[in-house]
Chain A
Amino acid sequence: MQLSTKHLLGIKNLNSQDISLILSTAEQFKEVLQRPVKKVPSLREVTIVNLFYENSTRTRISFELAEKRLSADTINFAASSSSAAKGETLLDTVNNILSMKVDMVVMRHSASGAPHFLAEHIPAAIINAGDGINEHPTQALLDAFSIQEKTGSLQGRKVAIIGDIMHSRVAQSNIYLLKKMGAEVVVCGPPTLIPKHIATALGVSVSYNIKETLAWCDVANVLRIQLERQNQVLFSSLREYNIAYGISRQLLDSLHKEIVIMHPGPINRGVELNSDVADSKQSIILQQVENGVAVRMAVLYLLSGRTAQA
């Protein structure tokens, strides 16, 4: 069985068999990560560049660790400390790196569509590690893997995505994935942070009531308020956001059922999530991070075939 694509640009381009293949392969890589030697030789002759035009902690470390666990050679590139700061174009930078015989590119960029542009112009396999407000496919895959691991399956699962839907590539990738795998999705947040036509465009339900949403769902994926992408005032203050949409222990206790709390990180503690929720037993935030390595190993492994470079 093979993936239907040569690159991972977004969940939008995957079919449900691709997603199932990645998730089942990730299960085997999770086993690898429990062994005394947490490493396999599969990608020994592969060189991967991590091209980060935007800041990242988790995703970059997670990809780098996944690459090392697969025995690949890795190069790290951060735009802030490179010639991109001197005005070199994206395509020039990448072509220069590829001339040093690099096989795969993991890329994060603040411009939506940057990896799609690269995929059309260079021969290497490209993995999108987040592009602007478009997609963050490996985050959606690791979220799905974590939901499946915690609750058994995605089919029919009720998932709420809460917070800054407007600026979130995590939300978009999660919605694509969950819909393809048969889950029900509700997005919830203040009206200013939810795109107007999301219900018809992506087939989700919209709610502006946090308590009703939490009472409905099995899993709540709480997103970060992305202040760096907001260039206008969309809610009056962080404190007010916390009061209206922040998730507190008290709110969870009022539900009379135990839901799973997820967050892609980094958390704004006391804004979208209070500490007594983020650090509670219901939260699987750290398992998500752990699963991220296994899921990224699966993606890199499945895209590493020789045919991808032919």
Chain B
Amino acid sequence: MKTQINNQALLIIIDQLADQLVAAYPDSSNTVLVGIQQGGVIVSNLIDKAIRNKIGNNKTSYLPFEHGQLDITFYRDDVRNKILAPDTMHLPFSIEGKTVILVDDVLFTGRTIKAALDALFDYGRPDRVKLCVLADRPEHRQFPIQADHVGKAIHTQSSDKLKLSVNDQGQAELLLITE
């Protein structure tokens, strides 16, 4: 197991993603940020915090995006092979007609995103759905799904595992686990 992106580098990537999102979605009142449990929620919390810091410094009229959490446990395509306890789902706003930015830690096969889209559409019909990920493993996609905003592309073997982990000091870092 080795650290692929340490906390310092991770926060720089988060800052760049926050800049990208603010520039790409000027209509922030019509755009919502939705983190996918569990890693995606950590990333979306950090992006939300970074955007709030930027707005705080510049005193613009730009508002931070509304921010929620999506749990895909009940939508997994392998749900009955392995019964998992669900995480919290929290979407305290309507997504009808909005731009939804889905946030995940690692984009790998695309299965999580497919399940997240299924879950999301049970809450309403968004105008568009965008995908923002901290790390992309572009060689291993099993579905026609690509991210719109990528923090860093990482080239891996399919047997590798990339895992977002929070250390004892509460700092997030991305770990690479090889067999």
A residues in contact (CB < 8 Å) with B: 1-2, 21, 24-25, 28, 31-32, 35-37, 39-43, 45-46, 301-302, 304-306
In angstroms, Cα B75 to Cα A41, docked, is 6
Whether the pair B74, A40 counts as a contact (CB closer than 8 A) is yes
In angstroms, Cα B124 to Cα A301, docked, is 24
Shortest Cβ gap from A55 to chain B (Å)? 32
Residues of chain B lying within 8 A (CB to CB) of residue A35:
122-123
Whether the pair A37, B123 counts as a contact (CB closer than 8 A) is yes
Residues of chain A lying within 8 A (CB to CB) of residue B12:
none
B residues in contact (CB < 8 Å) with A: 71, 73-75, 79-89, 118, 121-124
Whether the pair B124, A28 counts as a contact (CB closer than 8 A) is no
In angstroms, Cα B104 to Cα A196, docked, is 59
Residues of chain A lying within 8 A (CB to CB) of residue B89:
28, 31-32
* Known A40-B74, A46-B80: A28·B88 in contact at CB below 8 Å: yes
Residues of chain B lying within 8 A (CB to CB) of residue A306:
80-81
In angstroms, Cα B88 to Cα A1, docked, is 15
Question: Interface SS of chain B: helix, strand, loop or mixed?
Answer: loop
* Known A28-B89, A41-B118: A304·B123 in contact at CB below 8 Å: no
Partner of B75, one of A28, A40, A46, A305: A40
Shortest Cβ gap from A135 to chain B (Å)? 23
Whether the pair B123, A305 counts as a contact (CB closer than 8 A) is no
Shortest Cβ gap from B74 to chain A (Å)? 4
Residues of chain B lying within 8 A (CB to CB) of residue A43:
80
Partner of A305, one of B83, B85, B88, B124: B83
In angstroms, Cα B79 to Cα A254, docked, is 52
Closest A residue, CB atoms, query B88? A28
* Known A40-B74, A41-B118, A42-B79: A21·B85 in contact at CB below 8 Å: yes
In angstroms, Cα B50 to Cα A206, docked, is 60
In angstroms, Cα B89 to Cα A182, docked, is 28
Residues of chain A lying within 8 A (CB to CB) of residue B86:
25, 28
Whether the pair B83, A2 counts as a contact (CB closer than 8 A) is yes
What are the nearest 5 A-B pairs in CB distance?
A37-B122, A40-B74, A28-B86, A305-B83, A42-B74
Residues of chain B lying within 8 A (CB to CB) of residue A37:
121-123
Closest A residue, CB atoms, query B80? A306
A-B contact pairs, 19 of them (CB 8 A): A1-B84, A21-B85, A25-B86, A28-B73, A28-B89, A31-B89, A32-B74, A36-B123, A37-B121, A37-B122, A37-B123, A40-B122, A41-B75, A41-B118, A42-B79, A43-B80, A46-B80, A301-B83, A305-B83
Centre residue among B80, B81, B121, B124 by max chain A CB count within 10 A: B80
Shortest Cβ gap from A245 to chain B (Å)? 41
Closest B residue, CB atoms, query A2? B83
Partner of B71, one of A1, A28, A36: A28
Whether the pair B123, A45 counts as a contact (CB closer than 8 A) is no
Centre residue among B71, B75, B86 by max chain A CB count within 10 A: B86
Residues of chain A lying within 8 A (CB to CB) of residue B83:
2, 301-302, 304-305
In angstroms, Cα B81 to Cα A74, docked, is 21
Shortest Cβ gap from B130 to chain A (Å)? 21
In angstroms, Cα B123 to Cα A302, docked, is 24
Shortest Cβ gap from A306 to chain B (Å)? 5
In angstroms, Cα B85 to Cα A21, docked, is 7
Shortest Cβ gap from A48 to chain B (Å)? 13
Residues of chain B lying within 8 A (CB to CB) of residue A39:
122
Shortest Cβ gap from A139 to chain B (Å)? 23
In angstroms, Cα B6 to Cα A15, docked, is 41
Whether the pair B80, A304 counts as a contact (CB closer than 8 A) is yes
Closest A residue, CB atoms, query B85? A1
Shortest Cβ gap from B95 to chain A (Å)? 10
